[in-house]
Amino acid sequence: MRIGLVGTGGVGRALVDLIGKRDDIELVFALNSRSGVGDQAGLDPEKLYDYLGRTRDLEGYGEGGFGAWRISDILNEYRVDLLVEATPTNKSTGEPARSTIRLALENGLHVVTANKGPVMLHYRDLKDLAEKRGLGFGIGATAGAALPTISAGENDLLGSRLLGIRGVLNGTTNYILHLMENGGMTYQAALQKAQEEGIAEADPTQDVEGWDSAIKMTIIANALAGKALKLEDAEVLGITHLTSEDIRSAKDRNKRYKLLGELDLEAENPRVVVKPVMVSHEDIFYGVQGKNKGIQYVTDNLGEFAILGGASDVRGAAAAIIRDILQIKKRIFRKV
Ligand SMILES: NC(=O)c1ccc[n+]([C@@H]2O[C@H](COP(=O)([O-])OP(=O)(O)OC[C@H]3O[C@@H](n4cnc5c(N)ncnc54)[C@H](OP(=O)(O)O)[C@@H]3O)[C@@H](O)[C@H]2O)c1
Are the beta carbons of 219 and 123 closer than 8 angstroms?
yes
Q: What is the pLDDT of residues 26-39, one digit of tens each?
A: 999 999 999 999 99
Q: What is the pTM of this model?
A: 0.95
* Distance from the alpha carbon of residue 7 to the mean position of ligand 1, in angstroms: 5
Query: Which residues have a catalytic role annotated?
Result: 216
Q: Is residue 320 classed as helix, strand or coil in its secondary structure?
A: helix
Ligand 1 atom at shortest distance from the alpha carbon of 100: 32
CA atoms within 13 A on the CB side of 198: 4
Spatial distance between the Cα atoms of 267 and 115, rounded to a whole number of angstroms: 29
Residue with the smallest CA separation from ligand 1 atom 5 is 317
CA 11 to ligand 1 centroid distance, Å:
7
Q: How far apart are CA 109 and CA 111, in angstroms?
A: 6
Ligand 1 first shell, C-beta below 6 A: 6-12, 31-34, 56, 86-89, 96, 114-116, 141, 145, 312-314, 317
Q: Which fold has domain 2-146+315-331?
A: Rossmann fold (3.40.50)
Q: Are 256 and 278 in contact (CB under 8 A)?
A: yes
What CATH fold (topology level) applies to the domain 151-311? Answer: Dihydrodipicolinate Reductase; domain 2 (3.30.360)
Helix (H) or strand (E) holding 180: helix 171-182
pLDDT over 70 (residue 22): yes
Domain ranges for the chain, please list them: 2-146+315-331, 151-311
What residues contact 69, with CB distance under 8 A and at least 6 apart? 31, 35, 36
Instruction: Write the pLDDT tens digit of every residue in 235-270.
Output: 999 999 999 999 999 999 999 999 999 999 999 999
> Are the C-beta atoms of 86 and 142 separated by less than 8 Å?
no
Ligand 1 centroid distance, CA of 12 (Å): 7
Q: Closest residue (by CA) to atom 15 of ligand 1?
A: 10
Q: Decide if pLDDT at 336 tops 60.
A: no
